[in-house]
Chains A and B, each alone.
Chain A
């Protein structure tokens, strides 16, 4: 090995007097993958951008050493950076749908680097791009090259994005949250491609907020908090014996490993992850109701299709589910699998084309809206985007008061305070506007509103997908606790298998509008009946300790 591909010492980045990165050291070596992990706001993304001279207008970047492929790039100007970007250092951003220009064929996007750095003519560039597509195993390169990103499947699109970054085989490859918000199958593809790039000799820096994602692929992990590296070391060491609180918080936020009923944040306080998985007993296991209870909300043979100009699109087909008091049904599936449509059908926001929904043994989906309205307060709902579910003209107090009175409860200040207390928010927030709240606080207000009318059923549609991992953990703990306290029947929808597994008593796997299999969560995990479920479990990122003694199965 010719030595380090990238060496950074004492990197400082500031914006108008506030330092967001304070003294970060980085060493990237060919063939190795280093993961930079932290919460949003920890400075990881801006660090990644700074490695390409893209920290942004007004950013003050300073370092004691900053060598890219043996070249000192401290104080490099825009012209010099342009020569380096794409040639010496490549960047992979998250979703390819947004990161590739939707109006340009991917061949042109990938060929840009060749045109800019090698001065290749279109025909020559095209030939090189075709070879590249071949190498990255995109099917039918001759056809694909003229497609635009929106015309490709998720996996192909992501391959194209990576192809554009590695077109010139840059010695350093920076991947900024390359798997966030992707379906697990595509996620696995991306990680595999990054591994391949490293095997070809690239030094890869992988930025992520999710330890589970990086654990299976990174050789080394750096944990960033508040602009400084608080912990660094080989993957197995960092995951196996985390020393810093920030690392433990990130670890705890990975719900896969925490059994149902154990609060994630309580688990975080336990230093040894091995003890946490094996040792602790679920405190409230006994409170959970048995399987035998009669269902309160049930669907039989639900079907729903949407008419579009190209023909009917089936969103939900022949789906039957049952929610029982005190139990959570987890619904997992990739985007577009029909999860949200099912939630809307259960909430009677839409009428099914086929099948029925029954609520508390009585008709529900067949009722007229007027007949249904009095019973609506018995079913609550929370969504992925709490802010969008709040009237923008209303403050927190008004939102909650509205929900209280709608449910026939007194809507006075005391009731509002009690609701805020229920979701562990300070009473002072009542005077505020949702705009002033953080993402986690907003979702808490949404939960408070959903529970204001004391419903018996709660439909939660991707309630934590937009939240940071540790905030996510806190909200999950809250939901779990409230569910047990109130004996709620809950439908918990997520694309994240780990989250669903932690939250659910029963599990349903959905794909192409159908439920592939359904059953007790642990049983389903132990012995998936359907190949798709097995693949979902296999691809789902989980903490891998690098084959240590804890016996946790590793992804790959």
Chain B
């Protein structure tokens, strides 16, 4: 049993490493198969009219004169040491650039994830409550929340709470109050998704025979929902956490831009606009790493929480 579990974990980690390698390889070849001269991009795009010797110098400096396979091997070797290359636009090591931004974005994403969970649990419990009106209203809220685009929600929140009521700052200023609107913007649509998923499983759990058994032992209606049904509802939502973190980080691209908050998302957008390939690749790789780690983690949590998954995998 124990050996089997260790093997399962090893398999899972091996799969995660494979995904990271594939992501790196895919981005590398995609970039090099696309027309366009990286040396030109480094020098500020085709419009820069850089002289040939400058181009040659840049190519040698970035290793662009080597055969593709050599460049690929060099890239993998650098990745293993944590070196993500040098940004074309900022002329600084990508790893450093990302390192400086990662914490801010992770804080934002994790705070949003936590808030989304709180909102989703509340919504799911409410919308699965007896009574058609409560169900209808909560269901409509979930549906609408999930349909809200980040950029619009952010704009409306700023209009109401910052420029309108003046309660909160319209831009992130480093204070805790500056974090409120960005976190809410990211959390609300995610809460809508999670709540829909959780309600479905909550209602399903409430119809299973074990709730009748629990009632027959004298359990209260709220005890059933909190002690039994909520576990069943939370599990699939926990398993989505990897996806949720990815969703939040990609939402951070919009949110950080609107709230002028420094972070990975804004860096990614600027790098995209400037076609800074190493920087974009670096950010994508780091996000993939976060996603993969989160997936492995949630898989482990789910396996511990639900013996049925373990037996199914065994």
Contacts and interface: CB of A to CB of B under 8 A. Distances in A.
Interface of A: 49, 52, 54, 57, 78, 82-87, 89-91, 93-95, 98-104, 109, 112-113, 116-117, 148, 150-151, 161, 164-165, 167, 308-310
Contact of A90 (B130, B216, B219, B232): B216
Contacts of B217: 85-86, 90, 112-113, 116, 164-165, 167
A86 B231 contact: no
B220 to A, nearest CB: 6
Size class of the contact patch on chain B: 20 to 34
B82 interface: no
A109 B212 CA distance: 12
Contacts of B219: 82, 112, 116
Nearest to B223: A116
A309 B312 CA distance: 9
Interface string B98-132: 00000000000000000000000000000000100
B218 A93 contact: no
Contact of B218 (A100, A116, A308): A116
A480 B314 CA distance: 42
Given A54-B216, A101-B213, 4 more contacts: A85-B216, A90-B216, A99-B213, A102-B307
A161 B210 CA distance: 10
A112 B235 contact: no
Interface in B208-233: 208-210, 212-221, 223, 227-228, 231-232
A57 B130 contact: yes
Contact of A308 (B208, B209, B306, B314): B314
The listed residue with most A CB atoms (<10 A of its CB), out of B217, B231, B311, B314, is B217
Nearest to B216: A91
Contacts of B215: 52, 54, 85
A57 B129 CA distance: 13
B214 A54 contact: no
Nearest to B313: A309
The listed residue with most A CB atoms (<10 A of its CB), out of B130, B216, B221, B313, is B216
A49 B130 CA distance: 20
The listed residue with most B CB atoms (<10 A of its CB), out of A54, A90, A99, A165, is A99
Nearest to B8: A309
Contacts of A102: 210, 306-308
10 contacts: A82-B219, A85-B216, A89-B216, A91-B213, A101-B228, A102-B307, A102-B308, A116-B217, A150-B308, A308-B314
B308 to A, nearest CB: 5
A309 B303 CA distance: 15
B306 A93 contact: no
Interface of B: 4, 8, 130, 208-210, 212-221, 223, 227-228, 231-232, 235, 305-308, 311, 313-314
B313 A100 contact: no
Closest 5 interchain pairs by CB? A91-B216, A86-B218, A310-B314, A86-B217, A85-B218
Contact of B213 (A87, A93, A151, A308): A93
Given A102-B307, A103-B305, A151-B307, A82 B208 contact: no
A537 to B, nearest CB: 31
A426 B228 CA distance: 47
Contact of B212 (A99, A148, A310): A99
Contacts of B218: 82-87, 112-113, 116-117
Contacts of A87: 218
Nearest to A114: B217
A164 B232 contact: no
Contacts of B227: 104
The listed residue with most A CB atoms (<10 A of its CB), out of B130, B214, B305, B308, is B214
B231 to A, nearest CB: 5
A22 to B, nearest CB: 24
A112 B232 contact: no
A93 B208 CA distance: 11
Contacts of A90: 216-217
Given A54-B215, A99-B210, A310 B307 contact: no
Contact of A103 (B8, B221, B232): B232
Contacts of B306: 102-103
The listed residue with most A CB atoms (<10 A of its CB), out of B8, B130, B218, B307, is B218
B209 A99 contact: yes
Nearest to B232: A103
A308 B228 CA distance: 31
A100 B210 contact: yes
A150 B314 contact: no
A122 to B, nearest CB: 13
